[in-house]
C-alpha cells in the first residue's frame, strides 16, 4: 500500500497482444474505481523456447525476467500472474514464494498452484459447446478432429472431450478421425494435404484452436471445396482473426474482459474478508458464425477494423525506423546527449532508470550482478525532466511516484538488459491507452537495450584502450610518464609552443645511495625510495610540468617558463626530509638535483643536449653532497 492506496502487481508478457491489452485496461478500470492501482511487470516475449516434447516447462535464464525482481513486496497488496502468458513455471513459482513470505495473495490466471487463487477458463465446457453444436444442432456424425500437439495438456484435454461426445452420441471413434496440426499453421497445412488425398472428406472438421481452423478453411478453398456448404469448420479460442476470415469461424471465445472482472471480484473478496477462493472458472462465449452455416451477426465494423490494422502496420514501420535511428545515434555520445536524442525522437510517457554501476566506465558490461538492480539508480531519461540525471533510491520505484498514482493509469515496468545482463528498468505511464501505445513499449525497450548497451560497450572499450595506452605511457611504480610517454607529450607541447618565446626547463633528479638501500634492505625498499623521490619531484615542480621516470633511479621534469632552480631544489629536499622525519624506515631517502634552461629548443637534438647539461649539473651536486658528508645518513636509524 502507498498513501492508503492498495497496489496490485501484474506479471505478464506481450502486453500489446489484444487479449492481454483488454485484460490490463479492464482490470485497471475496476481497480481505480476502488482506490487501487495497477503496476504491470512485463516481458516482451514469453519465456519458453519451443519444445514439442516438454511444451513450455523449462527454466531458461532470461534476464529480462529480472523485471519481476522489481516487485516490492513491502508495498504490494496482491500479485497476479498470467501463467500461460509467461510460460515458465519456475519463474511463476519464485514470484509466488516471495509473495507467500510476506503473506500476500497470488492470483494465477490460466494455471494451478497450491495456496493461490487460481482462475481458469472453462475450456472443457467451451469446447463441448462447439462440438455439441455440430453433433446436435447440425446433426452431423461424419466428423474429423484437428488436434493440437501430442503431449500438450490443452490438446490432450480437448481431444478427450471430442472422444467423449462421440461416445455420448453413439458415433464410433477410430484414430483415422484425428489429424495433428499442433496449434500452428505449417503442421496444419501438412495434415490437410494428407486429408485432402482421401477418397472422401468428412462433413465437418472440428479444430482445437482458431489458427488451425482458419488454415483448414484456406486449404479447403484452395482445393475447390466450399465452407460450409461442402465441409463445416469450427475453431476455439476466439482470436480476432476469426472476424477477418472468409467465412467467419464458428468458435468459443475466451474473453479476457470477463477474466478481468472475475479476478477483480476475487481480489475485492479477499481484501474485505481475507478469504482465498482457490479455484474459479470463467465460461467462454459461443459464437456460431458463418463457417458452420449459422450466419451469426458479429456486429463488427469491418472497415474500421481493417483501417485500424492498416494504421498499426504502417505506424509499426515508421516507429521502428525512428527508434532504430535514434538508438544508433545514442551509442556514440554521452548519457546526457543520448537522453536528449531519445526524447526528441520518441514521444511516449516514460522514465528510464539504469543501474548506477552502468555509468561507471570501468565496469565490464558483460559482467552481471547477482542482485540485477543496484540500490541506487541513475535517472537516464524522464519526460518530466525534473529528476533527470540524478541518483535516486530504488525504493522510490520511479521519480514523482505520488503524482503518477493520481493519474489512475497502469504503471508498466520492463527490465533493460544487454547481452543477457540487466542494466535497469523502464516505467511507462501511458495517458493514451490505445493498443498502439502498448506496442510502442516493446519497441522502446528493444531500442533502449541496444542504445544503452552500445553506450556502455563503447565507453568500456575507451576505458580499456586508455588502460592499454597508460601501460605504454606511464611507469607502473611511480605513476609518472615512462620514457615513451614522456617524449610523446613533450613533442606535442613543443609543437604548440613553437612560435612563442618560452624558456624550456629540464630537471634531472638522481637518487643517492639506491644501491645501498637495495643491498641492505631489499629491492622492495629501493622501490619505495624511488616512489618517494618521484612524489617529491612532482610536488615541487609547476603544475604543468611533465615528469618521468627515465631509468632505474633517474627522474626528469620538463616545463616551460621562468623558474628559480634553487627554489625548486630546496622544495624537493624539504619534502624528502619531511618524509624521513615521519618515516619509520631504517634508511633515509635523498636525491641529487640538476636543472638547466634554454630559450632555444627545436626538438630531440636540443633535448639530448639539455639532458647532458642537466646530467653534468646533477653530478656536480652529487659530488658536492658526497664531499659534505650527505651520505652519513645512510646507516641504520635507531629510534
Containing structural domain, residue 560: 483-633
Q: Has residue 272 been placed in a domain? A: no
634 has a pLDDT exceeding 70: no
Q: Which residues are CB-neighbours of 566 under 8 A, at least 6 positions away?
A: none
Q: Has residue 279 been placed in a domain? A: no
Q: CATH number, domain at 397?
A: 3.30.450
In sequence order, the β-bridge partners of residue 233 are 205
Same domain? 553 vs 421: no
Grid coordinates in use for 231?
465441409
Mean pLDDT of the 154-182 span: 95
How sure is the predictor about 431, in pLDDT bands with cuts at 50, 70 and 90?
confident
Q: CATH number, domain at 130?
A: 3.40.50.2300
Grid coordinates in use for 516?
645501498
pLDDT tens digits along 99-119: 999 999 999 999 999 999 999
227 has a pLDDT exceeding 70: yes
C-alpha span between 565 and 471 (Å, rounded): 31
| pLDDT score for 115 | 92
Same domain? 456 vs 318: yes
Contact call for residues 425 and 65 (beta carbons, < 8 A): no
pLDDT above 70 as % of the chain: 91
Same domain? 111 vs 133: no
Same domain? 495 vs 615: yes
Contact call for residues 209 and 241 (beta carbons, < 8 A): no
Q: Rounded to the nearest 5°, which phi and psi values hold at 75? A: -120, -15
Q: Which residue in 355, 309, 308 sits closest to 335, CA to CA?
A: 355
Mean pLDDT of the 146-172 span: 94
C-alpha span between 631 and 391 (Å, rounded): 56
C-alpha span between 561 and 549 (Å, rounded): 22
Q: CATH number, domain at 546?
A: 3.30.70.270
pLDDT higher at 599 or 636: 599
How sure is the predictor about 578, in pLDDT bands with cuts at 50, 70 and 90?
very high
How many domains does the structure of the chain reveal?
4
Contact call for residues 78 and 31 (beta carbons, < 8 A): no
**Chain mean pLDDT for the chain:** 88
pLDDT tens digits along 605-615: 788 999 999 99
Mean pLDDT of the 136-164 span: 94
C-alpha span between 133 and 577 (Å, rounded): 104
* The dihedral formed by the CA atoms of 251, 257, 263 and 266, expressed in degrees to the nearest 10: -100
| pLDDT score for 316 | 65
How sure is the predictor about 637, in pLDDT bands with cuts at 50, 70 and 90?
very low
pLDDT tens digits along 529-565: 999 999 999 999 999 999 999 888 999 999 998 899 9
C-alpha span between 174 and 430 (Å, rounded): 54
- Three-state secondary-structure class, residue 355: strand
Grid coordinates in use for 352?
528510464
Indicate left, alpha or beta for 269 from its phi (over 0: left) and psi (-120 to 50: alpha): alpha
Q: Has residue 94 been placed in a domain? A: yes
| pLDDT score for 348 | 83
Contact call for residues 249 and 307 (beta carbons, < 8 A): no
pLDDT tens digits along 385-421: 666 788 888 888 888 888 888 889 999 999 998 887 8
- Three-state secondary-structure class, residue 20: helix
| pLDDT score for 420 | 79
Q: Has residue 265 been placed in a domain? A: no
Contact call for residues 244 and 260 (beta carbons, < 8 A): no
Which residue in this structure is represented by grid cell 626530509?
Answer: 577
| pLDDT score for 207 | 97
pLDDT higher at 216 or 471: 216
Same domain? 154 vs 176: yes
Sign of CA dihedral 540, 545, 550, 556: negative
Mean pLDDT of the 261-281 span: 94
| pLDDT score for 50 | 45
C-alpha span between 37 and 46 (Å, rounded): 25
Same domain? 323 vs 401: yes
Least confident stretch, 18-27, 111-120, 440-449, 492-501: 492-501
C-alpha span between 28 and 519 (Å, rounded): 80
Pairing of strands 411-418, 391-393: unpaired
304 has a pLDDT exceeding 80: no
Q: Rounded to the nearest 5°, which phi and psi values hold at 120? A: -130, 150
Same domain? 506 vs 621: yes
Q: Which residues are CB-neighbours of 381 under 8 A, at least 6 positions away?
A: 339, 342, 343, 350, 351, 352, 388
pLDDT above 90 as % of the chain: 56
Is residue 287 within a helix (H) or strand (E), and if so which, with residue range? strand 285-287
| pLDDT score for 17 | 87
> Cα 613 to the chain's mean position, in Å?
61
Amino acid at each position: 500500500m502507498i498513501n492508503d492506496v492498495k497496489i496490485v502487481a501484474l506479471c505478464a508478457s506481450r502486453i500489446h497482444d489484444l487479449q492481454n491489452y483488454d485484460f490490463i485496461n479492464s482490470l485497471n478500470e475496476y481497480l481505480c474505481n476502488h482506490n487501487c492501482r495497477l503496476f504491470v511487470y512485463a516481458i516482451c516475449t514469453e519465456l519458453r523456447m519451443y519444445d514439442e516434447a516438454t511444451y513450455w516447462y523449462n527454466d531458461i535464464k532470461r534476464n529480462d525476467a529480472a523485471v519481476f525482481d522489481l516487485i516490492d513486496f513491502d508495498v504490494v497488496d496482491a500479485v497476479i500472474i498470467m501463467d500461460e502468458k509467461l510460460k515458465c513455471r519456475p519463474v511463476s513459482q519464485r514470484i509466488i514464494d516471495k509473495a507467500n513470505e510476506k503473506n500476500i495473495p497470488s492470483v494465477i490466471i490460466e494455471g494451478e498452484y497450491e495456496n493461490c487463487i487460481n482462475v481458469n477458463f472453462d475450456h472443457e465446457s467451451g469446447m463441448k459447446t462447439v462440438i455439441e453444436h455440430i453433433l446436435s444442432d447440425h446433426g452431423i456424425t461424419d466428423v474429423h478432429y484437428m488436434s493440437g500437439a501430442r503431449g500438450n495438456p490443452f490438446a490432450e484435454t480437448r481431444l478427450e472431450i471430442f472422444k467423449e461426445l462421440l461416445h455420448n452420441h453413439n458415433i464410433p471413434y477410430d484414430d483415422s478421425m484425428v489429424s495433428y496440426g499442433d496449434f500452428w499453421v505449417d503442421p496444419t497445412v501438412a495434415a490437410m494435404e494428407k486429408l485432402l488425398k482421401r477418397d472422401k472428406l468428412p462433413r465437418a472438421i472440428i479444430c482445437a484452436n482458431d489458427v488451425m481452423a482458419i488454415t483448414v478453411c484456406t486449404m479447403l478453398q484452395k482445393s475447390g471445396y466450399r465452407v460450409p456448404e461442402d465441409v463445416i469448420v469450427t475453431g476455439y479460442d476466439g482470436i480476432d482473426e476469426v472476424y477477418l476470415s472468409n467465412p467467419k469461424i464458428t468458435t468459443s471465445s475466451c474473453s479476457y474482459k470477463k477474466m478481468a472482472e472475475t479476478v477483480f471480484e476475487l481480489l475485492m473478496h479477499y481484501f474485505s474478508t481475507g478469504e482465498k477462493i482457490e479455484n474459479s472458472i470463467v465460461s467462454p462465449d459461443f459464437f456460431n458464425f458463418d463457417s458452420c452455416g449459422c450466419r451469426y451477426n458479429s456486429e463488427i465494423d469491418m472497415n474500421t477494423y481493417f483501417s485500424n490494422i492498416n494504421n498499426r502496420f504502417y505506424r509499426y514501420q515508421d516507429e521502428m525506423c525512428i527508434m532504430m535511428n535514434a538508438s544508433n545515434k545514442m551509442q556514440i555520445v554521452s548519457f546526457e546527449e543520448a537522453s536528449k536524442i531519445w526524447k526528441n525522437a520518441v514521444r511516449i510517457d516514460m522514465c528510464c532508470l539504469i543501474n548506477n554501476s552502468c555509468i561507471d566506465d570501468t565496469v565490464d558490461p558483460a559482467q552481471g550482478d547477482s542482485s540485477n538492480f543496484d540500490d541506487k539508480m541513475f535517472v537516464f531519461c524522464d519526460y518530466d525532466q525534473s529528476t533527470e540525471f540524478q541518483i535516486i533510491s530504488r525504493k522510490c520505484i520511479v521519480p514523482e511516484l505520488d503524482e503518477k498514482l493520481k493519474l489512475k493509469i497502469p504503471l508498466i515496468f520492463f527490465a533493460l538488459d544487454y547481452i543477457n545482463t540487466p542494466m535497469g528498468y523502464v516505467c511507462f505511464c501511458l495517458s493514451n491507452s490505445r493498443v498502439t501505445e502498448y506496442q510502442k513499449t516493446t519497441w522502446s525497450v528493444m531500442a533502449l537495450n541496444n542504445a544503452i548497451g552500445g553506450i556502455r560497450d563503447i565507453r568500456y572499450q575507451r576505458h580499456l584502450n586508455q588502460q592499454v595506452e597508460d601501460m605504454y605511457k606511464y611507469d607502473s611504480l611511480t605513476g609518472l610518464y615512462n620514457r615513451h610517454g614522456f617524449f610523446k607529450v613533450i613533442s606535442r607541447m613543443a609543437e604548440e609552443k613553437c612560435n612563442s618565446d618560452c624558456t624550456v626547463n629540464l630537471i634531472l633528479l638522481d637518487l643517492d645511495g639506491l644501491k645501498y638501500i637495495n643491498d641492505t634492505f631489499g629491492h622492495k625498499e629501493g622501490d619505495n625510495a624511488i616512489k618517494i623521490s618521484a612524489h617529491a619531484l612532482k610536488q615541487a615542480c609547476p603544475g604543468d610540468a611533465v615528469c618521468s621516470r627515465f631509468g632505474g633511479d633517474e627522474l626528469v621534469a620538463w616545463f616551460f617558463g621562468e623558474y628559480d632552480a634553487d627554489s625548486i631544489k630546496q622544495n624537493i629536499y624539504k619534502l624528502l626530509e619531511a618524509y624521513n622525519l615521519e618515516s619509520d624506515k631504517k634508511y633515509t631517502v635523498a636525491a641529487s638535483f640538476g636543472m638547466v634552461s634554454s630559450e632555444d629548443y627545436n626538438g630531440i637534438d636540443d633535448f639530448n643536449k639539455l639532458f647532458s647539461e642537466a646530467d653534468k649539473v646533477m653530478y656536480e651536486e652529487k659530488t658536492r653532497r658526497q664531499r659534505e658528508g650527505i651520505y652519513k645518513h645512510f646507516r641504520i636509524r635507531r629510534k
